Amino acid sequence: MVRIMTEVKTNDNCLVADIEGYGAVFHTPDLNGDIIVPGAFRHDGPVRMLYQHAAETPIGRWTSLKEDGFGLFVRGQIILSSPRAREVHALLMGGALDGLSIGYQTIRAAKTKAGRRILSASLWEISVVTFPMAPHARITKVSPPRPERQTLEPSPDQFATALRQAASALSV
């Protein structure tokens, strides 16, 4: 009997680490006194995952953004092919980092005594940060590195979008 051994090589550009947490918290003043209301966010393109709000330092991608009763819950993947992403992941795993912070452009807001009520905002990015402006905007889960799955199956959001498009095309 001949056993054929295959070596699977995994390199850094196909390793990811999953993270999730709250990028924003609703009904709670941030350190500037601003309060974000549910339904305020819109995003016309991809929402970027950055480190410390530095546009030149993307570290991954957000795969899911969903509002719930507490705030904007996000899931994403740190792409471990860059030294900075590996450093951020190590700091997250070690408990030295756990903050999230949003970068956005205010579209509509109402003044309050302490700051603003953000009624509508264009969400640009969500960063892993040392000091979040919203103290409760935190990462709640970090996974160890894993190979990125190469799959042809659509995500649930992609599947739902395809179904809506098909239904729309059939109703014309």
Tokens of 139: 């990462």
Q: How far apart are CA 21 and CA 130, in angstroms?
A: 14
User: Quick one: pLDDT at residue 123?
Assistant: 97
User: Quick one: pLDDT at residue 153?
Assistant: 57
User: pLDDT grade, residue 125 (50/70/90)?
Assistant: very high
User: pLDDT grade, residue 148 (50/70/90)?
Assistant: confident
Mean of per-residue pLDDT scores for the chain: 88
Could you tell me which of 106, 133, 137, 101 has the C-alpha nearest to residue 30? 133
Q: How many CB atoms lie within 10 A of CB 33?
A: 12
Say whether 101 is catalytic. Answer: yes
Q: How far apart are CA 168 and CA 64, in angstroms?
A: 24
Q: Which of 27, 82, 87, 101 is catalytic?
A: 101
Query: Would you call 18 helix, strand, or coil by DSSP?
Result: strand
Mean pLDDT along residues 107-134 = 97
User: Quick one: pLDDT at residue 39?
Assistant: 96
The C-alpha R_g of the chain, in whole angstroms, comes to 19
Q: What is the pLDDT of residues 54-80, one digit of tens each?
A: 999 999 999 999 999 999 999 999 999
Q: Are 129 and 101 in contact (CB under 8 A)?
A: yes
User: Quick one: pLDDT at residue 8?
Assistant: 31
CA dist 6 to 3, 9, 10, 150, Å? Answer: 10, 9, 13, 18
Q: Are 68 and 145 in contact (CB under 8 A)?
A: no
∠ CA 42-70-43, nearest 5°, is 10
User: pLDDT grade, residue 169 (50/70/90)?
Assistant: confident
Q: Which of 7, 20, 43, 53 is catalytic?
A: 53
* Helix H or strand E encompassing 25: strand 15-25
Q: Are 35 and 29 in contact (CB under 8 A)?
A: yes
Q: How far apart are CA 137 and CA 21, in angstroms?
A: 7
Query: Is a pLDDT exceeding 70 seen at residue 13?
Result: no
- Comparing 160 with 95, the larger pLDDT belongs to 95
Could you tell me which of 78, 97, 58, 87 has the C-alpha nearest to residue 143? 78
